[in-house]
Amino acid sequence: MTGYLLRRLAGTVPVLVLISLLVFLLIHAAPGDPTLMLLGEETNAAEIAKAKARWGLDQPLYVQYWKFLTTVAAGDFGKSFKYAEPVTSVIRSRLPATIELAFFAIVIATVLAIPLGVWAGARPNSWIDNLGTTCGLFGISMPSFWLAIMLILLLAGVLNILPTSGRSTYGIAGPEQTGFYILDSVMQKNWRAVWDALSHLFLPALALGVNMLGILMRVTRSSILEVMNEDYVRTARAKGLREKKVVWRHVSSNALIPVITVVGLELGTLLSGSIIVETVFAWPGGGSLLITALNARDYPLVTGLVLTYTTAFVGINLIIDGLYAVVDPRIRY
């Protein structure tokens, strides 16, 4: 088990190096010149040359890549063109917002999807199954950014009950400690700020979580359907256990194993979804930062963000694999 995980961990290194190469090449295949973009079209040749030398853009490509790879491996992504700050610190200031958003999206999705899926799977073709299946289908077919827009339109524009942009109302939250607003406010016992942060979080998290909700519901349902035919379920029934107990104790605990994998797999979709949902809700996380950085052709920042997201995704998959083995003792590596 440990050996397997270590092997997997070692296997991710070449993948990450190749990813960095791919990103590096893509950036340099771009038509626009970042120096012109940053200094404006009116700059004279000497200034351009000076700027290029300062950023190392006058070096041959392989020298730039090698320099880039060695600094990145040391955990240094360089300085952002736009913010004139180290990329790592820019990203670090934005990541808590994305993690907070993704976490609550997962919570909303699982809390709604798993009971619905278990219910639907335990009683195939009943009204609850029809409702669940329809929800699942709607969930997977819903473009999250359109749902985001519609939620803003309905809940904020017409009913005017929830805020639609940003993470908090100005002046309510106390000083930042961890960067996770809800956690910070709870630690400071500032309940008004907790409520404020939650009300800002709800709509984006719902919009982001809806695809995962649909997929989780469908997977839970089909997984339950499959387990319902197992021998030990029949045994449990034959013992005279009540149906409720059979479903929740015997069926669910076994059927939920594939669901964990799907949560892991869908985290990638969630990360990408957060880019677009953050943009709609002006959520100050890594996703909206990426779009800003792309529009400014801020190469170091884009590279840093893409590599951070990809590394996170690779890491999550690794953790999920390990978790899978813990949950299902039948799995041996």
Partner 1 sequence: MQSLTLESATEKAPGALARLLPRLHAKAFTGGLIVLTFVLVGVFGPYLAPHDPNKQQLTAMMKPPQGIGAVHVLGTDNLGRDIFSRVIHGTRVSLLVAFAVVFVSGLIGITLGAVSGYFGGKADFLIQKLVEVIWAFPPLLLGITIMAFLGQGLFNLILALVAQRWIPYCRVVRGQALSLRSRDFVTAAQSLGSTHGKIILRHIIPNLIQTSLVIGTFAMASSIIAEASLSFLGVGVPPHIPTWGTMLADARIYISTAWWLPLFPGACIFITVLGINLLGDALRDILDPRLKRTGSGL
CA atoms of 7 and 1, how far apart (whole Å):
10
Q: State which amino acid sits at residue 96.
A: P
For position 314 contacting partner 1 by CB under 8 A, the verdict is: yes
292 with 285: CB under 8 angstroms? Answer: no
According to CB under 8 A, which one of 182, 224, 289, 290 is a site residue for partner 1? 290
Interaction of residue 269 with partner 1, rule CB under 8 A: yes
The CB-of-282 to partner 1 minimum distance in angstroms stands at: 11
In 3-state terms, what secondary structure has residue 330?
Answer: coil
CB burial class (10 A; 0-12, 13-18, 19+) of residue 105? buried
Identify which range of 66-74, 99-107, 194-202, 275-283 contacts partner 1 by CB under 8 A: 275-283
Q: Does 296 bind partner 1 (CB under 8 A)?
A: no
Q: Quick one: which of 1, 6, 13, 18 contacts partner 1 (CB under 8 A)?
A: 18
Tell me if 15 contacts partner 1 by CB under 8 A: yes
In this structure, what is the dihedral angle of CA atoms 89, 93, 94, 97, given to the nearest 10 degrees? 150
Instruction: Please spell the DSSP secondary structure of 94-113, one letter per residue.
Output: HHHHHHHHHHHHHHHHHHHH
- Distance between CA 271 and CA 276 in Å, rounded? 9
Nearest-angstrom CA–CA distance, 300 and 307: 10
Residue whose CB is less far from partner 1, 3 or 31: 31
Residue matched to tokens 């300085």? 79
218 lies in the binding site for partner 1 (CB under 8 A)? yes
The residue with tokens 């992504």 is 77
Instruction: Give yes or no for residue 255 binding partner 1 (CB under 8 A).
Output: no
Task: Answer for the pair 288, 278: CB distance below 8 angstroms, yes or no.
Answer: yes
Segment contacting partner 1 by CB under 8 A, of 35-43, 91-99, 136-144, 187-195: 136-144
CB of 12 to partner 1, least distance (A): 8
From the list 141, 177, 235, 253, which residue makes contact with partner 1 (rule: CB under 8 A)? 141
Task: Give CA–CA dist 257/310, Å, rounded.
Answer: 25
Output the smallest distance, CB 1 to partner 1, in A. Answer: 21
Among 86, 115, 179, 268, binds partner 1 (CB under 8 A): 268
Name the segment binding partner 1 (CB under 8 A); options: 11-19, 58-66, 76-84, 322-330.
11-19
- By CB under 8 A, is residue 157 in contact with partner 1? yes
- Nearer of residues 143 and 174 to partner 1, judged by Cβ: 143
Tell me the number of residues near partner 1 by CB under 8 A.
55
Residue 163 region by backbone torsions, left for phi larger than 0, else alpha for psi between -120 and 50, else beta: beta
- Nearest Cα neighbor of 295 from 82, 22, 55, 36 is 82
Residues 186/187/188/190 CA torsion (nearest 10 deg): 10
Rounded Cα gap, residues 174 and 166, in angstroms: 16
Q: Which is nearer to partner 1, 25 or 53 (CB)?
A: 25
Can residue 19 be called a binding residue for partner 1 (CB under 8 A)? yes
List, in sequence order, every residue forming a beta bridge with 86; answer none if it has no partner: 79
Which residue has 């296997």 as its token pair?
11
Query: Which of 128, 142, 183, 323 is in the footprint of partner 1 by CB under 8 A?
Result: 142
> Which residue among 103, 190, 199, 226 contacts partner 1 (CB under 8 A)?
226
Among 6, 13, 30, 319, binds partner 1 (CB under 8 A): 30
- Provide the binding-site residues for partner 1, judged by CB under 8 A: 14-16, 18-19, 22-23, 26-27, 29-31, 125, 137-138, 140-143, 145-146, 149-150, 152-153, 157, 215-216, 218-219, 222-223, 226, 229, 258, 262, 268-269, 271-273, 275-276, 279-280, 290-291, 294-295, 302, 306, 309-310, 313-314
